[in-house]
Amino acid sequence: MLVSLFICPLCQSPLIPAADTWRCDGSLNPKQTAHPFDVARQGYVNLLPVQQKKSKAPGDSQQSIEARQRFLNAGHYQSLNDLICQKMAELLSLEKVKTNQKGQPINWLDIGCGEGYYTQPMAQTGMDTLIAADISKPAVLELAKVSKALGRLWYQKPEDGAAKTTAIYPLVTSAAYLPLRTHSLTGISSIFSPILPEAFNEVLSDAGYLIIAKPDIEHLATMREALFDDVREHDSDKFLQALSPYFKLLDRYRVSTELTLSAEDLADLLTMTPYAYRARSEKRQALLAKVATTPFTTEAKFIVYILQKITAQ
């Protein structure tokens, strides 16, 4: 039952969704008072208390979000998107066989969802509930607007005769303090986002799935060589040891795409990555000046991990 899926970020009491205001029942609050969380007109809910913020405006900036939207909507990372959704659909088709026998819903969390480029296609892979969570309010706002326009928000009912759609819940929240009931999720996806073994283990059900996407070795190699004197390779597997007490690796998949970028595309790519502030300004300007006359070529390389929660004996 969806009523028990969420918990209050302030007192951990059950949190009850509603179209205008989410309210906890106050059962775990020493004062027995209910905490309210208003639903924004765009359709998202802010469940990030002030005490969980590390800055005034945590997460990606509006500039970074807009650059990422332009770059991704141009299709540069479409091959990665396709791979993620293909593997997710395969997992969920197997899961449906099991859950249909038990009558349990399939609940999925996309952590660090940003403005939803990967999230929206995920909603077509077969889960009942898709929680889209990010610490950046501007990013979640963009995701909520698109979800609302598509009729996918949790409080929007399908038109008469229309097929049932996945209910999307856009949340502003911290990955370290997930406002979700223990063992309530079928799966979690983390696409270039935080990896928090204990937090993920806490909210995933037994044998739940974890899909992680990371840059692979030599990702954007020619761009990094142009920006840095000393290029450090991505250590894509470094987080697996931290996950090993809770998760087993089922498989890993690699995908690569040759990119031919205009000056505008390259500027957006720089803005949406850490290279925007790690590289020296003169290096960035020299690269952009060179691309002003000749398109820039590089290769995007990714690795996608499929893991499963180790069932307690």
Angle 137-149/62-73 helices, nearest 10 degrees? 40
- Residues 238, 301: Cα–Cα separation, whole Å: 17
For residue range 247-300, list pLDDT tens digits in order. Answer: 999 999 999 999 999 999 999 999 998 776 777 788 888 888 888 888 999 999
Residue 117 pLDDT class (50, 70, 90 cuts): very high
Q: So what's the pLDDT on residue 275?
A: 74
CA dihedral (67, 178, 17, 186) in degrees, to 10, reads 90
Residues of the chain with CATH 3.40.50.150: 55-309
- β-pairing, 6-7 vs 14-16, is antiparallel
Architecture of domain 55-309: 3-Layer(aba) Sandwich (3.40)
Give the pLDDT confidence score for residue 1 in this predicted structure.
41
Top-confidence residue, 194 or 183: 183
For residue 181, name the pLDDT band (cuts at 50, 70, 90).
very high
Model confidence, pTM: 0.93
Mean pLDDT (the chain) is 90
Torsion region of 105: left, alpha or beta (phi above 0 gives left; psi -120 to 50 gives alpha): beta
Mean pLDDT calculated for residue range 130-149: 96
Residue 2 pLDDT class (50, 70, 90 cuts): very low
| pLDDT beyond 70 at 161 | no
* Nearest Cα to Cα of residue 210 among 235, 234, 175, 179: 175
Contact between 295 and 237 (Cβ < 8 Å): no
| Residue 80 burial by Cβ neighbours in a 10 Å radius (0-12, 13-18, 19+) | buried
> What's the pLDDT at 3?
47
